Amino acid sequence: MSEHQHIRADGTLSFLPHRLNRHPVVVRGLTTDELWICSGLSGAAGLLVGAPLSWLFSTIALAPTFVVVGIALGVFVGGGILRRQKRGRPDTWLYRQLQWRLSTRSPLLAGWVGGHVLITRSGYWSHRRPAR
């Protein structure tokens, strides 16, 4: 099939590649943004565990060791969990879910994460049509 068969008379394409604007998957089903978030949070958790143990045992090597172990566990365990959570959902589901949870659980952060644009009303919806 020729390359010119996909071009219409007005110069536009007759097809649009399905995954053109998606972020590529890097590791264990995580995109680059998700990988940075997952590794950052798990590295911070590893530092929170490793710093007191480093002080308790009087060796500085425990802190970076726990950071590396925390990142490895976070990427592999957290990546698997996130991959299962994201399966079959739209690309922006994770970001909207985080935005919704932050805006409903802590309303002071809603302005920072754009939660004021989300519809958070709960209750019955009416279409305002008369009953027949």
Domain match, 53 and 94 both: no
Q: What is the pLDDT of residue 13?
A: 64
Domain match, 80 and 37 both: yes
Does a structural domain hold residue 2?
no
Domain match, 33 and 79 both: yes
CA–CA separation, 71 vs 44, rounded Å?
9
Tell me how long the chain is. 132
Q: What is the pLDDT of residue 50?
A: 94
Domain match, 32 and 65 both: yes
Domain match, 33 and 77 both: yes
DSSP 66: H
Question: pTM for the full model?
Answer: 0.64
Q: What is the pLDDT of residue 122?
A: 75
Instruction: Kindly give the parts of the chain with pLDDT less than 50.
Output: 1
Domain match, 37 and 62 both: yes
Domain match, 100 and 70 both: no
**CB contact at 8 A, 47 and 66:** yes
Does a structural domain hold residue 107?
yes
Does a structural domain hold residue 69?
yes
Structural domains of the chain, count: 2
Q: What is the pLDDT of residue 111?
A: 78
Domain that holds residue 56: 28-87
Does a structural domain hold residue 95?
yes
Q: In this structure, how many other beta carbons lie within 10 angstroms of the beta carbon of residue 99?
A: 18
CA dihedral 114, 118, 122, 126 (to 10 degrees): 160
Q: What is the pLDDT of residue 21?
A: 62
Domain match, 59 and 81 both: yes
Does a structural domain hold residue 17?
no
Domain match, 81 and 39 both: yes
Does a structural domain hold residue 1?
no
Q: What is the pLDDT of residue 74?
A: 92
